[in-house]
Amino acid sequence: MKPENNHGLKRVFRATGFSMQGLKSAWKNEAAFRQETVLACLMLPVALLLNISSTERILLIMTILIVLIVELLNSAIEAVVDRVGDEIHPLSGQAKDIASAAVFLSLVLCAVTWGIVIWPLLF
């Protein structure tokens, strides 16, 4: 059931609270999210300290955040599939595999972007 008087700033505060609950849940229950978050915490300062253009800096930061966002969506899809039932079903496997592929592509995007931006600085 939807809560009454759920509009304006009250809605924003409630939505923020739910988002924080989601982040806490992902941190607690998802090893991949923890690993990617730790990696992001290491990579973000590097992106801020590199002698690169603002556009390149934004690209580096965005690709890091894309990985985290896609991992959260992957975890949500896996949780819903697992909630629906324990039996093995081809569509359940397909949903999980496709979500996992999205994470993989976001990691490739991140690696390629970082490689392109950092390569000239190294050589």
Catalytic residue positions? 71
Alpha carbon distance 84, 117 (integer Å): 43
DSSP label of 2: P
CA 45 to chain centre: 18
Taken in order 34, 38, 39, 40, the sign of the CA dihedral is positive
